[in-house]
């Protein structure tokens, strides 16, 4: 556990909660490491039957902490992406064998939205919003979303979200297929816990095998994550991205 991520086991459920409300739960490198470890540590633990990911203070996450994110993008002048803490976290999601449930309140931006495509059940408060503003920053989709989003939403909806940058409401995300259940604001974590307990009550081996049949293979997912990471790192040095980030930080100072 770090000060910004809590990891607790509630009976057969591992609960991973992002808690950095002063920064809208923006994810730092340390937070990525903690969440990766929390997921990886239970893969061979039969006592943990489900993982629940949530946020704090009425929000899921604003996505990457941009200061950490820019430092973690590339390995200098070679142009090759580093094995960043964000990519390690995505590998943990891709290789995870436990049913994964998310409880989303408030904002889910960038990787806060794309990580949900790895989940088996997503519960959202009615006022939650989902956005992936990669293109507006001169970047490309990440998190395996270029593979998973079209399979989940269909190509046109995925294009609108990932390329055009259209934000979705909770109901729109449910209609698109990556949110399963919409509840009253503030009720997402309680409902997600109920869903997780229901999954835990099912025969564990049958759930694991069925989940494996339904999802893309870890190898396919990690190949796409690597491809996205390489292109993402290249784009960070592009004139488009540099100009977009300069404009973004200028607006923050106003």
- The C-alpha atoms of residue 111 and residue 134 are separated, in whole angstroms, by 10
pLDDT for 66 equals 77
Asked whether residue 153 is assigned to any structural domain, the reply reads yes
Q: How many domains does the chain have?
A: 1
Asked whether residue 163 is assigned to any structural domain, the reply reads yes
Asked whether residue 220 is assigned to any structural domain, the reply reads no
Show the beta-strand stretches assigned E in 88-208: 100-104, 107-109, 121-125, 129-131, 168-169, 181-183
Residue 80 has pLDDT above 60, yes or no: no
Mean pLDDT of the chain: 92
Residue 70 has pLDDT above 70, yes or no: no
pLDDT for 76 equals 47
User: Which residues, listed in sequence order, are joined to residue 2 by a DSSP beta bridge?
Assistant: 5
Q: Which domain holds residue 36?
A: 5-187+200-205
Asked whether residue 118 is assigned to any structural domain, the reply reads yes
Paired tokens of 73? 């993008």
Identify whether the C-beta of residue 49 lies closer than 8 Å to the C-beta of residue 13: yes
**Could you tell me the CA-to-CA distances from 122 to 74, 99, 117, 189, 239 in Å, in that order?**
32, 11, 9, 10, 37
Paired tokens of 143? 């998190």
Asked whether residue 44 is assigned to any structural domain, the reply reads yes
% of the chain at pLDDT higher than 90: 84
Closest CA to 53 of 107, 88, 99, 11: 99
The strands making up 129-131's β-sheet, listed across from edge to edge, are: 107-109, 129-131, 168-169
Give the range among 68-72, 112-116, 119-123, 238-242 with minimum mean pLDDT. 68-72
- The C-alpha atoms of residue 161 and residue 148 are separated, in whole angstroms, by 13
Closest CA to 132 of 229, 62, 85, 236: 62
Asked whether residue 117 is assigned to any structural domain, the reply reads yes
Place of tokens 């040095």: 237
pLDDT for 50 equals 98
Asked whether residue 239 is assigned to any structural domain, the reply reads no
Identify whether the C-beta of residue 163 lies closer than 8 Å to the C-beta of residue 135: yes
pLDDT for 75 equals 44
Identify whether the C-beta of residue 236 lies closer than 8 Å to the C-beta of residue 70: yes
CATH number at residue 34: 3.90.226.10
pLDDT for 3 equals 83
Global pTM reads 0.92
pLDDT tens digits, residue range 156-200?
A: 999 999 999 999 999 999 999 999 999 999 999 999 999 999 999
Asked whether residue 125 is assigned to any structural domain, the reply reads yes
Q: Give the angle subtended at the CA of 218 by the CAs of 217 and 222, to the nearest 5°.
A: 125
- The C-alpha atoms of residue 101 and residue 116 are separated, in whole angstroms, by 9
Identify whether the C-beta of residue 39 lies closer than 8 Å to the C-beta of residue 92: yes
- Contacts by residues 150-157 (CB-CB < 8 Å, ≥ 24 positions apart): 151/216, 152/117, 152/176, 152/177, 152/178, 153/177, 153/178
pLDDT tens digits, residue range 45-54?
A: 999 999 999 9
Residues in CB range of 207: below 8 A, 6 or more apart: 99, 199
Q: Give the angle subtended at the CA of 222 by the CAs of 88 and 152, to the nearest 5°.
A: 110
Residue 77 has pLDDT above 60, yes or no: no
């Amino acid at each position: 556990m770090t000060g910004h991520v809590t990891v607790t086991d509630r009976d057969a459920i591992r609960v991973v909660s992002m808690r950095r409300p002063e920064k809208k739960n923006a994810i730092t490198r340390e937070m990525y490491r903690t969440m990766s470890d929390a997921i990886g540590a239970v893969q061979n633990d039969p006592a943990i039957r489900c993982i629940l990911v949530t946020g704090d203070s009425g929000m899921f996450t604003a996505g990457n902490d941009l200061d950490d994110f820019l430092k973690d993008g590339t390995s200098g002048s070679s142009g090759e992406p580093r094995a960043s803490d964000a990519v390690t976290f995505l590998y943990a999601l891709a290789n995870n064998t436990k049913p994964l449930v998310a409880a989303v309140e408030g904002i889910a931006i960038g990787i806060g939205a794309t990580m949900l495509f790895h989940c088996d059940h997503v519960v959202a408060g009615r006022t939650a919003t989902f956005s992936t503003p990669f293109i507006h920053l001169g970047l490309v989709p990440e998190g395996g979303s270029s593979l998973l989003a079209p399979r989940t939403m269909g190509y046109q909806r995925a294009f609108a979200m990932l390329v055009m940058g259209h934000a979705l409401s909770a109901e729109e995300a449910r209609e698109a297929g990556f949110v399963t259940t919409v509840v009253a604001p503030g009720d997402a974590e309680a409902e997600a816990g109920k869903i997780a307990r229901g999954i835990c009550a099912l025969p564990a081996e049958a759930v694991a095998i069925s989940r494996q049949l339904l999802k893309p293979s870890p190898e396919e997912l990690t190949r796409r994550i690597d491809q996205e990471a390489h292109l993402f790192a290249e784009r960070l040095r592009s004139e488009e991205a540099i100009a977009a980030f300069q404009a973004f930080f200028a607006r923050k100072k106003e």
